[in-house]
Structure 1
Amino acid sequence: MAAYFKPPKSHLVFESFHGTDKLSAYISEHTFNHAVNIFLPGQARIPRELLEVSPGKDCFYVAELPVSTFIQPHFIHSTLKQGSFFALSHTHHIDTDDCVAVFPQGLLVLSVTKDTYEQLGIVGRSSEFQQGAKFIVEIDLLADSFQPGRKQYERVQWCLTDRLSLTMPFLMAFIPRGSSATSSIPVLQDMPHKELTNKETLNTLTNIQIPSLSYMSPQISLDHSSNEYCSAIDLFEWLGAISCNIDCDSGQPDGFVSAYSCPMPNRVVPLSCNIGWRGVITPQRILQLINILSKCEDALISWCVISVWGFADCPFSWGQQEHGYYMAGENHYTCVLFPQSNQWFFTALGTHDKVR
């Protein structure tokens, strides 16, 4: 007898808006990003201004640390209060393991299993998506009450050092106040650690088909009766193929690798650029990239795209919205930039995520 399973829910949210305020807010709230890809249709080369703010110039660090490191006064004063600090547990799985993150606003978040929660002794809340199995603990490291000698601080310190010492590998990055580039992390100077840089890849695409778009005609419904412009949904799917380096021009119904082809209507352009970075990429750097892209008006095609992938095992995705992995851990976004500060914005979320 055949068994039928209900497919897991996923969310793809589409928005279109004018101006930069809303876009900047969305990007700033998505703290932990491991990959960025920029597609420049009709451009023969990457603009020099874009390369000047390349995430490939940024470094990040890997070190195994006790979680109690992040509550020490030396760390709070030398690092957390001196810029934007990012830390995310590495190689730990959000659905089954203990995961920890430190957000730039000074928020320490622990997503822990039931056993760890009971041993830890710090009050938190049950996970929205794994009730009774995972628990969320939030500690404001910059709160006035969180200082040595105060009741809350002493309780947390005792729980993280004497009651249960949590130690795990972390990915970390630090941007000093007044800068947009990452820098060394003072707290790591006397600790074993590894310094890494974001990896950059660049592809030049020749004679590929590019969908015809209009900001005013996203055509987000499934009704394709109007073929004047490509729909936003078809574009999103096509961009996924471009990011995976799939040849969309030779798609055949019996194609061995891919039968996918560029959506209609489209046009052939001689050259296009696809540049990407992998590592730990800060929201500040992404905002710089978008600012440069919004000023690129000399291209053959009047739009360009930036896609960003969030870490699958981060406790929160946007702002303080809880995040889980479940099937794939999606928490990504794609922004299509049109002239005159017009944008299409796609948000892709998995089953264990809340729609903003």
Structure 2
Amino acid sequence: MYINLLKVGDLFSNILYRMLNPEVWNFQAPASVFQSHKVERDICLKKIRQFNFVHSVTVILPDILSVPDSFGLNLTNCDYYRVNSLTIDELVKPDFLKNFLNCGNVNLLSVNTSIDCDDCIAITTCGKLILHLNKLTFQTLGLEGKVSHFHKLSKGKYIVSIDLKSDSLKPGKAFYERVKNCLQKLKADVILQWEPPNEDICPSSISKYFFDLGYNVKLCKIKKDSETIFDVKVPVVENFDKLNQYETAKFVEWLGMVMINGSMEEQSSYISTYATPEPSIDVGQIKILRWRGFFNVSKVIHMLQEVESKYCKGQFFKAIYFQGFSDSPVVWGLNEHHFYTNGDNGGIVIMKKDEFFLCCQKCSNKYYK
């Protein structure tokens, strides 16, 4: 049998080339989960309350030229604190549990940590201590946990969840002593805030608590900015019931362009441009306000109620966008979060008169191979 060695050589060369130079542009990135639907007001608020660790809030107000200085004051005055090298067992000590965790709402999140390769720590509003740990840290710690959904093949990441409001987590009990001793091995730089049960108590009490324990505590201020965009085309939203997934995606994309003040004017027939979804109408201006920092989700709900009461009676929609942290262990409820090609997580509430439309953005549930 005659074999053409040149063709065989070309075949192996081609295989070797493809192995060394894979067509990475043909690999499909995991798709983010985008959900949108019209909801009743109470259901909308209930869904938003499941969100953890808000990093930024943006309000879009079409046909509004200016807002009073008092608008959004609840967000502007939402100071939070950074505690460096916090030993994690401090979070289960009786004084902390009694005076802060069981009295008001505590939010805590580790900073300068990447969810895909570092140990990440969080306390949710519902009182769960979430430890997102590397394999070596998990094995050294000695607490019960489970393999991360996104690392179930490599088993490189583990999740430990501790209910800080549980009756079993009380001093003197064997479980409490075991948890406290294990958590002494963990340290992290964290940001935190405390929402007191009533306005007579100062939220800064939590910073003094850690300062008195000898920790380096830094006050972090909310960053606020605003702008007014003039002569803008705005999509007309007549009926939320008629919005399908495709139209909603286009509308949300338009909101994103407005928030970054992107150009929607055609510069050249050879350059791709973005057009406002139709039908649309010309308005004189759009007011955009942004807050960036660390917020309890209750602040988002308060802002929603403020916009609803003051600006939702006109013909144009109003929108609130809230964004989470890319590297938080959980985002929506207690569902595990991750960073694959992005750490997208957030939501948009679109309001018009008495109607609400909620859009939720989540990371893909695809696990690593």
Q: TM-score, normalised by structure 2?
A: 0.86
Contact 2:57 2:322 in 1 (8 A): yes
- Alignment CA distance shift 1:254-1:57 (3 Å): farther
Using the alignment, how far apart are the partners of 1:94 and 1:180 within structure 2? 37
Alignment of 1:53-72 (within 5 A): 53=74, 55-64=75-84, 65-72=86-93
Q: Give the SS at the match of 1:116.
A: helix
Using the alignment, how far apart are the partners of 1:339 and 1:151 within structure 2? 55
Select 1:139's aligned residue among 135, 139, 162.
162
Select 1:240's aligned residue among 250, 256, 261.
256
1:312 equivalent in structure 2: 326
* 1:258-309 deviation line (CA, Å, top 9, x unaligned): 7112122211111210001000021111111111111234775431000010
Select 1:213's aligned residue among 221, 227, 237.
237
Select 1:113's aligned residue among 134, 155, 168.
134
Q: Give the SS at the match of 1:117.
A: helix
In the alignment, structure 1 residue 155 sits paired with structure 2 residue 171? no
Contact 2:111 2:191 in 1 (8 A): yes
2:348 equivalent in structure 1: 334
Alignment of 1:273-352 (within 5 A): 273-297=287-311, 301-340=315-354, 342-352=355-365
1:226 equivalent in structure 2: none
CA positional deviation for 1:179: 4.0
Q: Which has the larger radius of gyration?
A: 2
Contact 2:127 2:165 in 1 (8 A): yes
- Alignment CA distance shift 1:180-1:232 (3 Å): farther
Alignment of 1:190-269 (within 5 A): 190=212, 191-220=215-244, 222=246, 231-250=247-266, 252-255=268-271, 259-269=273-283
Using the alignment, how far apart are the partners of 1:95 and 1:182 within structure 2? 36
Q: Give the SS at the match of 1:189.
A: helix
Using the alignment, how far apart are the partners of 2:245 and 2:194 within structure 1? 43
2:3 equivalent in structure 1: none
Q: Give the SS at the match of 2:219.
A: strand
1:170 equivalent in structure 2: 190
Q: Give the SS at the match of 1:129.
A: helix
Tell me how many residue pairs correspond in the alignment: 338
Which deviates the most, 183-192 or 36-45?
183-192
Give me the CA root mean square deviation. Answer: 2.1
Alignment of 1:73-152 (within 5 A): 73-131=94-152, 132-152=155-175
Contact 1:215 1:344 in 2 (8 A): no
Using the alignment, how far apart are the partners of 1:277 and 1:216 within structure 2? 27
CA positional deviation for 1:69: 1.3
1:32 equivalent in structure 2: 53
2:32 equivalent in structure 1: 10
Using the alignment, how far apart are the partners of 1:180 and 1:245 within structure 2? 41
Contact 2:327 2:339 in 1 (8 A): yes
* 1:185-215 deviation line (CA, Å, top 9, x unaligned): 1422322111011100100111111111123
Amino acid at match of 1:339: K
- Alignment CA distance shift 1:196-1:250 (3 Å): farther
Using the alignment, how far apart are the partners of 2:233 and 2:64 within structure 1? 14
Q: Give the SS at the match of 1:206.
A: strand
* 1:318-340 deviation line (CA, Å, top 9, x unaligned): 11111111111111111101111
Residue segments in structure 2 that go unaligned for 5+ positions in a row: 1-17
Q: Give the SS at the match of 1:63.
A: strand
- Alignment CA distance shift 1:252-1:179 (3 Å): farther
Using the alignment, how far apart are the partners of 2:267 and 2:277 within structure 1? 11
Using the alignment, how far apart are the partners of 1:286 and 1:44 within structure 2? 22
Amino acid at match of 2:364: T
Residue segments in structure 1 that go unaligned for 5+ positions in a row: 223-230
CA positional deviation for 1:247: 2.1
Amino acid at match of 1:17: V
Contact 2:37 2:357 in 1 (8 A): yes
- Alignment CA distance shift 1:353-1:316 (3 Å): farther
CA positional deviation for 1:7: 2.3
**More helix as a share of residues:** 2
* 1:224-263 deviation line (CA, Å, top 9, x unaligned): xxxxxxx3221111011112221224565444xx711212
Amino acid at match of 2:209: V
Instruction: Calculate percent identity across the aligned residue pairs.
Output: 25
